[in-house]
Structure 1
Amino acid sequence: PSMVQEAAPVLLIVLTRLVSSTWHEGSGYYMAESHTNEVYVEETPPEPALDYRRVPQWCATLNIYRGEATCYSPWGASYRSSLGTRCELSCTRGYRLVGPSTVQCLPSRRWSGMAYCRQIRCHVLPAVLRGSYVCSAGVQMDSRCDYTCLPGYQLEGDRSRICMEDGRWSGSEPVCVADLEPPKIRCPDSRERIAEPGKLTATVYWDPPRVKDSADGIIKRVMLRGPEPGSEFPEGEHVIRYTAYDQAYNRASCKFSVRVQVRRCPILKPPQNGYLSCTSDGNNYGATCEYLCDGGYERQGTSLRVCQSTQQWTGSQPLCAPMQINTDVNSAASLLDQFHEKRRLLIISAPDPSNRYYKMQISMLQQAACGLDLRHVTTVELVGQPPHEVGRIREHQLSLSIIEELRQFLHLTRSHFNAVLLDKVGTDRERYISPVNPDELFVFIDTYLLSEREAARRAQSGDPCE
């Protein structure tokens, strides 16, 4: 108890001093005991020692919508938000940075500033009188607006404008004015073609004309006067015309020519006592001409000639020589074969030369010799009785054996006048028991026995015996 009593005064003194001391807030100083004037400086508390390697993220991570931050830290690449980190801010294309382009992480654990990305936009373009425009992306950056005018008007100025990076439109505002200028048209070049072999025409192709309208580029229609491409063109020169109309009904025309040439050989002359039968036009490239002889004549030489691309004929001209009748034969068949497809035969049989019908028939035929030859008819006479029987073809005499074979083959009697008409292939076509009038005979031949070729030649040359 005595020790407690001794210590109590000492503790009281210490507490009394502490309570009686005065502290001036915020000054860093305090007053000493009231009975002295000494001033003591307050010691500044030391700053806490920070280990930046243990605290790598001092500031919040930077995230910029539609942009990016490129940061550089004094502590290395892995410390993107440590104290002292400096970041450069940028925006993607089409956006503009609002705020500082560079910020730094401060000791207050805040960035020195903040920025954001705002979309770049141009103002809305004004309407165009008598026209319009269409934009690819509204008023955003890189949006392209294309202008068009109403039909009958053309655009003067920029046909398109683009929203640029500075928020302004490129170029200037265009206007639509009345279209008075005709379109521009260009036809293909004129051309020349050679007719195809055996034909008088050529197939000609060409590309359509090139047409452009100086106003809005729109062509309303293009009209063609003349054959279409790929048509067959005959020999000669042909003019092809095109006319183009724009939306204002201004028009422009152009023309070109198509010339078709037919290569021709010299015109062939028909042989004497003969004629020609030609294909196509007769003397054009590829045409073929056949030489034919009149009845009673035989062709000597080539039968066909062709017009070549060199405009020269192949071969040489043949001749039509009188038909050689050989009566020195062993049979009637051999005799008749000489006339096969060449001549018709009128075979007359009479009992004797004084027969009235025979004399009348021979007299009529002599007066109609031209008509008989025109129709390729040869007369054969079988007159009399054996052994004085006579057979002849013109001046050629027939043997008795041939006469007998002819009578039996053609069923010709000696007892009275009778006659038979054979066509060119040896067929019995008509029989007579009395003299036949030449006009009646000619009508029958012309109606029933003429080939198409003979009929065409008769129609072409007419009747020289009239």
Structure 2
Amino acid sequence: MAVQLTRRGALSLLLFLTPAVMPTWYAGSGYYPDESYNEVYAEEVPQAPALDYREMRCHALPFITSGTYACTNGVLLDSRCDYSCSSGYHLEGDRSRICMEDGRWSGGEPVCVDIDPPKIRCPHSREKMAEPEKLTARVYWDPPLVKDSADGTITRVTLRGPEPGSHFPEGEHVIRYTAYDQAYNRASCKFIVKVQVRRCPTLKPPQHGYLTCTSVGDNYGATCEYHCDGGYERQGTPSRVCQSSRQWSGSPPICAPMKINVNVNSAAGLLDQFYEKRRLLIISAPDPSNRYYKMQISMLQQSICGLDLRHVTIIELVGQPPQEVGRIREQQLSASIIEELRQFQHLTRSYFNMVLIDKQGIDRERYMEPVTPEEIFTFIDDYLLSNQELTQRRMQRDICE
């Protein structure tokens, strides 16, 4: 009986104590109990509760573009993950994140930003000589070397200046390239294109003449031709060329007074000497005392400068045979030449008449009475001057004054 009571008492004591043994949460331990109840065996002395804990975990962090991270303990509680970016990128945001007790990561996800500009290298600066007879040179070069320090992607390369293979004028020219990457970072480089023109010393026009030159007249390859004013003839080389040595070929000619040969066999032979050189004003009068003749000669003698500027030579046919006189300045013409000239130009001995002949030997104007030199000059300036002569006239506008 005593034994039985003892067993009953022990059982009652165990049943009384069982509700007091409950699962306990240990804050900060990272564990929690697996079950919410314990089994009790009446025939054994109860032991301390056996709790089964599982480890706390966070979700795996996603990879970031152009970067990576390294964690101290994977995705377990208190694990710290440190972020880093690839070369050429800068980290913006939290550099580290920690796995917390609630299963979430601290902070926010950072990003890797491309901040480094691309690398660009331009060609070397270069010099080039202008081509013969030109003031420009065609210059070529290779495109710049461009590389992005981040992902290697170059989105655009712009050129400020002429394209390769362009014609560059004399002087220095800055060529600039700019490269852009995907993050709109940019880098620039530049180089110089220098074009030189070989030049010869400036030529002086001959006395009583002028020059016509190709190009600008003093650059390599330019040709300058010498011309003489009407009444003058060129003696020497007709043209000179600017050479690569920066010197002119040959030697300068001179313009000597035109020598008129009156001892020819025909009027045609006489007129040929003036072809493309001089204009002729042929005056015919019945005798030296003719009033119109004396008036005309007097006015022309006062305008010799204007006549020379316009390349006009005067031929006088005065009188009746056998005392008829023909002359060019102080040179006398033969009777046969006088007669042929009258016939060719339809000049009568009966009254005063005058004819103006251009440099091609064409009859351009006739006069039956005296005219002022200004009238003759106006007609020549308006209708007979070549472009070159017009230029010369503008340069010599006041020379006779």
Counterpart pick for 1:224 among 129, 150, 159: 159
Counterpart pick for 1:302 among 214, 218, 237: 237
Counterpart pick for 1:293 among 208, 219, 228: 228
What residue in structure 2 maps to residue 374 of structure 1?
309
Using CA pairs under 8 Å that are at least 6 residues apart, name the structure with larger relative contact order, 1 or 2: 2
Deviation at 1:132, TM superposition (A): 10
What residue in structure 2 maps to residue 171 of structure 1?
none
Deviation at 1:131, TM superposition (A): 6.0
Deviation at 1:383, TM superposition (A): 0.9
Provide the C-alpha distance between the structure 1 equivalents of 2:294 and 2:237, rounded to a whole number of angstroms: 43
What residue in structure 2 maps to residue 181 of structure 1?
116
The structure-2 alpha-carbon separation of the partners of 1:357 and 1:289, relative to structure 1 and needing over 3 Å to count, comes to same
Structure 1: which amino acid aligns with 2:389?
A: E
What residue in structure 2 maps to residue 321 of structure 1?
256
What residue in structure 2 maps to residue 353 of structure 1?
288
The structure-2 alpha-carbon separation of the partners of 1:399 and 1:207, relative to structure 1 and needing over 3 Å to count, comes to same
Counterpart pick for 1:333 among 268, 288, 292: 268
Say which one has the larger Rg: 1
Map 1:49-448; keep pairs closer than 5 Å: 127-130=62-65, 154=89, 177-448=112-383
Return 298-307 or 449-458, whichever deviates more. 449-458
Deviation at 1:130, TM superposition (A): 4.4
Structure 2: which amino acid aligns with 1:349?
A: S
Provide the C-alpha distance between the structure 2 equivalents of 1:366 and 1:462, rounded to a whole number of angstroms: 20
Provide the C-alpha distance between the structure 1 equivalents of 2:311 and 2:176, rounded to a whole number of angstroms: 56
Provide the C-alpha distance between the structure 2 equivalents of 1:243 and 1:205, rounded to a whole number of angstroms: 19
What residue in structure 2 maps to residue 449 of structure 1?
384
* TM-score of the aligned structures, taking structure 1 as reference length: 0.62
Structure 1: which amino acid aligns with 2:282?
A: I
What residue in structure 2 maps to residue 62 of structure 1?
none
Kept after mapping to 2: 8 A contact 1:128/1:176: no
Deviation at 1:218, TM superposition (A): 1.7
Return 427-436 or 437-446, whichever deviates more. 437-446
The structure-2 alpha-carbon separation of the partners of 1:257 and 1:440, relative to structure 1 and needing over 3 Å to count, comes to same
Kept after mapping to 1: 8 A contact 2:64/2:112: no
Structure 1: which amino acid aligns with 2:155?
A: K
What residue in structure 2 maps to residue 11 of structure 1?
none
SS at match of 2:226: strand
The structure-2 alpha-carbon separation of the partners of 1:458 and 1:221, relative to structure 1 and needing over 3 Å to count, comes to farther
Map 1:13-28; keep pairs closer than 5 Å: none
SS at match of 1:284: coil
What residue in structure 2 maps to residue 464 of structure 1?
399
Structure 1 unaligned segments of length 5 or more: list them: 1-124, 134-148, 157-174
Provide the C-alpha distance between the structure 2 equivalents of 1:195 and 1:278, rounded to a whole number of angstroms: 18
Provide the C-alpha distance between the structure 1 equivalents of 2:314 and 2:266, rounded to a whole number of angstroms: 19
Identical residues among aligned pairs (%): 74
Structure 2 unaligned segments of length 5 or more: list them: 1-59, 69-84, 92-109
Structure 1: which amino acid aligns with 2:273?
A: Q
What residue in structure 2 maps to residue 40 of structure 1?
none
Provide the C-alpha distance between the structure 1 equivalents of 2:185 and 2:392, rounded to a whole number of angstroms: 59
Deviation at 1:285, TM superposition (A): 0.7
Structure 2: which amino acid aligns with 1:290?
A: E
Deviation at 1:332, TM superposition (A): 0.8
Provide the C-alpha distance between the structure 1 equivalents of 2:346 and 2:211, rounded to a whole number of angstroms: 39
Provide the C-alpha distance between the structure 2 equivalents of 1:200 and 1:270, rounded to a whole number of angstroms: 22
Provide the C-alpha distance between the structure 2 equivalents of 1:279 and 1:253, rounded to a whole number of angstroms: 41
Deviations 1:26-65 (A, max 9, x none): xxxxxxxxxxxxxxxxxxxxxxxxxxxxxxxxxxxxxxxx
Instruction: Report how many aligned residue pairs link the two structures.
Output: 306
Structure 1: which amino acid aligns with 2:138?
A: T
SS at match of 1:370: helix
Deviation at 1:452, TM superposition (A): 2.5
Structure 1: which amino acid aligns with 2:218?
A: N
SS at match of 1:447: helix
Structure 2: which amino acid aligns with 1:393?
A: I
Provide the C-alpha distance between the structure 2 equivalents of 1:456 and 1:275, rounded to a whole number of angstroms: 11
Provide the C-alpha distance between the structure 2 equivalents of 1:415 and 1:357, rounded to a whole number of angstroms: 13
Cα RMSD of the aligned pairs, angstroms, is 2.2
The structure-2 alpha-carbon separation of the partners of 1:185 and 1:462, relative to structure 1 and needing over 3 Å to count, comes to farther
Provide the C-alpha distance between the structure 2 equivalents of 1:309 and 1:315, rounded to a whole number of angstroms: 14
Provide the C-alpha distance between the structure 2 equivalents of 1:179 and 1:269, rounded to a whole number of angstroms: 66
Deviations 1:335-382 (A, max 9, x none): 111111110000011111121211111122112211110110001111
SS at match of 1:364: helix
Kept after mapping to 1: 8 A contact 2:319/2:325: yes
Provide the C-alpha distance between the structure 1 equivalents of 2:276 and 2:199, rounded to a whole number of angstroms: 33
